Structure 1
Amino acid sequence: MAKVQVITDSTADIPKDLVEKLGITLVPLKVHLEGQSYLDGVTIEPQEFYRKLAESEEMPTTSQPSPVDFVEAYREAAKDGETDIISIHLSSSFSGTYQSALLAQSMVEDEFKVTVIDSKTASYAIGMIVVEVAKAAQAGHSLDECVAVANRMIEEEQVYFLVDTLEYLQKGGRIGKASAMVGSLLNIKPILSIDREGVIFPIDKVRGKNKANTRIIELLKQNTVSDRSYRAGILYTDNREEAEKWAERLQENIPSLEETVFAEIGPVIGSHVGPGTVAVVLAPVQE
């Protein structure tokens, strides 16, 4: 049976130790700021990006990898032969990255097998899917079995996030249905999520961050069951201390929480959500 190699893009925001441990291949997107272009997570790291963002008067922009970038990654992954590839990417509603990967798939289809999956989500919500698939691949599961893990994760993940300002989502054109939430009401915090089509939408709105945090915990608890264990991802930008407080609250409120991973939101996703963003991803442990 062919081994399975897992490929994703840099917007999965997977901690570097997990990338190395699980042998995951990352194809970087680009971020453009103050006339400079950077490879996400390669030539610019999150902390440097948020520092530059704070000093800049311009909004950053981003761009997707080319099909050739993916072809190179696929051929490198398959160079030893007997390799199937599963390629999992940023929601097609946010970026053309998935389409680039599909084009690359068509360019190598006579050489080896590539399955491309639209995660319909972003940041470590993709990363959590990729990590579980990579664990299955390392355990010797087939391509079809790895695809099944990915599809279950996509269906079962919960994602909620808070942004300090909707300005970045608005100007980046990624706000989708959340545009209805934009208004001048003082201290109203929209709780945002990503629907099954990969589109950002407001799931609720409350006054103040503390109430928003409490409401997210309520939503998570409503959608968990007592006979399953869970894994969480806490996503943050320039606010690690806030992420650590979130982890404590989750541990207190989700007794069956088995693992929590801290994931720093990288420059590309950070360009669209802005500093001060925090997010929670929760998914059942895959059996």
Structure 2
Amino acid sequence: MKIAVVVDSTSYLPDALKEKYDIRTIPLSVVIGDESYKEDEEITPDEFYDRIRNMEELPRTSQPSIGDYILLLETLRREGYTDVVSVHLSSKISGTYQNAIAAGQSVQGIEVHAVDSEVACYVQGFLALYAAQHKDGMELEPLLLELEEMKRKKNTNAYFIVDTLTNLQKGGRLTNAQAMIGSLLKVKPILEFQEAQIVPYEKIRTKKKAMKKVEDVFETEMERHKGKPVTAVVIHSNAEAEAKEWLAALREKHPGVTFRLSYFGPVIGTHLGEGALGLGYTTYEVDTEV
């Protein structure tokens, strides 16, 4: 048995880290006007945010086609892989997980074990990293069971702060009136994943207060996880300076936690908008050093 690990592009793991552990990527796309771009391959986050800033309509997002996934599986089969652990963003917000299953049923000689992370971004990437770092030392079935346990909210969690309501309004998740009122009140929604869906955690006035609320929740959860090898990540939508400042403050408060910096790429950024921040973590030991 030879196991490959695949993750979709919305994990936004650093290329060097994916190369270190031979994690393959299947890209999602954004459609701007009549043009489709594979994120991080055909359009960078900077280019994306520059282009959409003044657009009236949001870009559309597109999951990988079954055909693209089949091509990847055939490549892996030719390289001698017999099994694929394929980790994807939540099935409640994308059909990527379902397409991975469908593609696996179409290719003979290689078995796909799709994992619905029930989350997204670098926090989803924690699962792929764990799989890649343990696939040679564990049997496949115990590894898959570990991933199912790892993704439970008590072990891996995330919170997201939306800085502007514009994208939620453009995407039809808020009415114009709601967006206008929310903007006037400087409302900054905090979102989380529950049962694989993005749901409101709390609505806070001002971003500073929203960040403080997430910090307080994180501190409470860290108290519960004392003694565990926690790895956390600060994520941003084209707000690197602000994210780095937050990261430094969190590191000072939690010296026992390993922190990393990541970003919301075009697909997730389409929905969260520019200036969003996220904080996620896992209590499972993963190597994130590049």
Q: How many residues align?
A: 277
For residues 238-271 of structure 1, give each alpha carbon's deviation from its aligned partner in whole angstroms, at most 9, with x where no partner exists: 11011112212221232420x2221121111111
Distance in 2 (CA, whole Å) between partners of 1:191 and 1:159 is 10
Alpha-carbon RMSD across the aligned residues, in angstroms, is: 2.1
* Structure 2 unaligned regions, length at least 5: none
Partner letter of residue 284 of structure 1?
T
CA–CA distance in structure 2, aligned partners of residues 168 and 144 of structure 1: 41
Question: d(CA) in 2 for partners of 1:142 and 1:3?
Answer: 11
Structure 1 regions of 5+ residues with no counterpart? none
Q: Indicate the larger mover: 39-48 or 146-155.
A: 146-155
Describe the superposition over 1:260-287 as per-residue Cα deviations: whole angstroms up to 9, x where unpaired. 2211211111111111111011111338
Letter paired with 1:34? G
Query: Is residue 285 of structure 1 aligned with residue 284 of structure 2?
Result: yes
TM-score by length of 1: 0.89
Q: Measure the CA separation in 1 of the matches of 2:133 and 2:220.
A: 28
What pairs with 1:246-261 in structure 2 (closer than 5 Å)? 246-257=246-257, 259-261=258-260
User: What are the superposed Cα offsets for residues 160-193 of structure 1, whole Å, 9 maximum, x if unpaired?
Assistant: 11111233235436x59xxxx9682512222111
TM-score by length of 2: 0.88
**Counterpart Cα distance in 2 of 1:169 and 1:129:** 28
Q: Is the Cα–Cα contact under 8 Å of residues 6 and 25 in structure 1 kept in the other structure?
A: yes
* Residue aligning to 1:131: 129
Shift of 1:32: 0.9
Q: Distance in 2 between matches of 1:204 and 1:212?
A: 9
Structure 1 equivalent of residue 82 of structure 2: 83
Give the aligned partner of residue 45 of structure 2.
Answer: 46
Q: 1:74-116 CA distances to partner (integer Å, 9 max, x unpaired)?
A: 12122233531101111111111111111112112x4222101
The separation in 2 between residues aligned to 1:99 and 1:229, in whole angstroms, is 32
The 3 A distance-change label for structure 1 pair 82 and 96 is: closer
Matched, 1:147 2:144: yes
Specify the SS of the correspondent of 2:105.
helix
Residue 114 of structure 1: aligned partner: 112
Q: Which of 197, 208, 211 does residue 210 from structure 1 map onto?
A: 208
Q: CA deviation at 1:9?
A: 1.1
The CA distance in 1 between the partners of 2:179 and 2:150, in whole Å, is 31
Alpha-carbon distance in 1 for matches of 2:11, 2:233:
12
For 2:198 and 2:81, the matched residues in 1 are separated by: 39
- Taking the aligned partners of 1:241 and 1:79, their CA distance within structure 2 comes to 44
